[in-house]
């Protein structure tokens, strides 16, 4: 029986007719390639001034900024601004990370914020991010630029950590610096050229496979802990030879080491370099 005869036979059969009708519905649905849900476009490093000047273009996009916090706004929010520009408009940062964040109390260091740019409307932000904000704190920020933060971290200079390590032990930090000395593929220092008398900061890379180059300026997120060789060998899969181990024990024993969570290009906007 040829294909045409089979088709007419199916059309005269109620079951065959039902099958053809179902195929007519199902097949177009299978071929309808719906776009997958995507995360907001991540534009990387921008200055706070760019967030102010280009709010419309940046709204809905993910950015990273670094700044000293200006003022606490309510229990979960604060403002940031570019120090380079006198009188520049502050940007509201709303903590939507789900994790508490303690602002530095002594004015130092900076903080690094990664989040979605918004033209702030309290009702919209509460609904979209499932937040409960006390309106009394936010009246003056309505219809102004804001960043809805997905992650936040203290962002000290390398020398601030090496000069006063106990202040930072156990904390997640975002540190930017130039790769100074590479001791091994997973161990290097970030140069300290900001604070007189401060030492370079050692970084142990246990997460990122990104190759590190001399003099490259990078940003590192991670947790600071004192260098104790026996503990590091216990906690991480290290392949250092005996000579390197002896050198590290002499030069870095009980000094601060930033153990990485992520390494990426410098998070300092060009305007701040």
Which pLDDT value is given to residue 207?
82
Residue 85 pLDDT more than 70? no
Q: Does domain 158-268 have CATH number 3.20.20.70?
A: no
Helices 3-12 and 14-31, interaxial angle, to 10°?
110
Q: What is the per-residue pLDDT across 109-164, written as a single tens digit (0 to 9) for each?
A: 789 999 999 999 999 999 999 999 999 999 999 999 999 999 999 999 999 999 99
Residues 19-55 as b or e (16 or more Cβ within 10 Å = b): eeeeeeeeeeeeeeeeeeeeeeeeeebbbbbbbbeeb
- Mean pLDDT of all residues in the chain? 82
Q: Is it true that 42-154 and 158-268 share their CATH fold? A: yes
Which pLDDT value is given to residue 127?
95
Q: Which of 145, 149, 176, 144 is nearest to 160 (CA)?
A: 176
> What's the whole-model pTM score?
0.74
3-class secondary structure for the chain? CCHHHHHHHHHHCHHHHHHHHHHHHHHHHHHCCCCCCCCCCEEEECCHHHHHHCHHHHCCCEEEEEECEEEEECCCEEEECCCCCCCCCCEEEEECCCCCCCCCCCCCCEEEEEEEEEECCHHHHHHHHCCCCCHHHCHHHCCCEEEEEEEEEEECCHHHHHHCHHHCECCEEEEEEEEEEEEECCEEEECCCCCCCCCCEEEECCCCCCCCCCCCEEEEEEEEEECCHHHHHHHCCCCCCHHHHHHHHHHHCCCEEEEEEEEEECCCCHHHC
User: Which residues face 179 on adjacent strands?
Assistant: 190
Which pLDDT value is given to residue 235?
94
Does residue 239 or residue 32 have the better pLDDT?
A: 239
Average pLDDT over residues 89-99: 94
Residue 65 pLDDT more than 90? yes
Q: How many CB atoms within 10 Å of residue 235?
A: 13
Domain edges within the chain = 42-154, 158-268
pLDDT band at 211 (very low <50, low <70, confident <90, very high): confident
- 107 vs 57: CA distance, rounded Å: 31
Does residue 268 or residue 250 have the better pLDDT?
A: 250
- 170 vs 256: CA distance, rounded Å: 10
Q: Does domain 42-154 have CATH number 3.90.730.10?
A: no
Average pLDDT over residues 93-101: 93
Residues 6+ apart with CB under 8 A from 150: 62, 96, 97, 114, 115, 116
Residue 33 pLDDT more than 70? no
What whole-number percentage of the chain has pLDDT above 90? 55
Average pLDDT over residues 44-48: 86
What whole-number percentage of the chain has pLDDT above 70? 78
**Among 62-71, 83-92, 219-228, the least confident range:** 83-92
Average pLDDT over residues 237-257: 93
Does residue 143 or residue 239 have the better pLDDT?
A: 143
Mode of pairing for the β-strands spanning 110-119 and 77-80: unpaired
Which pLDDT value is given to residue 223?
95
**Among 102-106, 167-171, 181-185, the least confident range:** 102-106
């Amino acid at each position: 029986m040829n294909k045409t005869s089979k088709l007419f036979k199916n059309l005269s059969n109620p079951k065959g007719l039902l099958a053809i009708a179902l195929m007519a519905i199902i097949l177009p649905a299978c071929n309808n390639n719906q776009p997958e849900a995507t995360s907001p476009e991540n534009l990387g490093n921008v200055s706070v001034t760019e967030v102010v000047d280009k709010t419309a273009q940046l709204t809905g996009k993910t950015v990273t900024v670094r700044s000293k916090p200006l003022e606490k706004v309510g229990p979960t929010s604060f403002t940031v601004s570019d120090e380079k520009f006198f009188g520049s408009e502050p940007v509201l940062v709303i903590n939507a990370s789900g994790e508490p964040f303690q602002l530095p109390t002594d004015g130092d260091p900076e903080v690094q914020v990664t989040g979605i740019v918004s033209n702030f409307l309290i009702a919209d932000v509460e609904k979209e991010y499932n937040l409960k904000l006390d309106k009394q704190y936010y009246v003056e920020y309505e219809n102004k630029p804001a960043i809805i933060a997905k992650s936040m971290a203290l962002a000290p200079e390398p020398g601030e950590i090496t000069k006063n390590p106990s202040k930072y032990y156990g904390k997640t930090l975002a540190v930017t610096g130039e790769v100074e000395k590479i001791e091994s593929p997973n161990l290097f220092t970030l140069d300290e050229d900001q604070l007189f008398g401060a030492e370079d900061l050692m970084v142990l890379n246990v997460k990122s496979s990104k190759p590190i180059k001399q003099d490259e300026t990078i940003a590192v997120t991670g947790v600071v802990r004192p260098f104790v060789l026996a503990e590091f060998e216990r906690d991480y899969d290290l392949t250092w030879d005996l000579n390197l181990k002896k050198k590290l024990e002499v030069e870095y024993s009980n000094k601060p080491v930033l153990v990485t969570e992520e390494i990426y290009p410098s998070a300092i906007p060009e305007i701040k370099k």
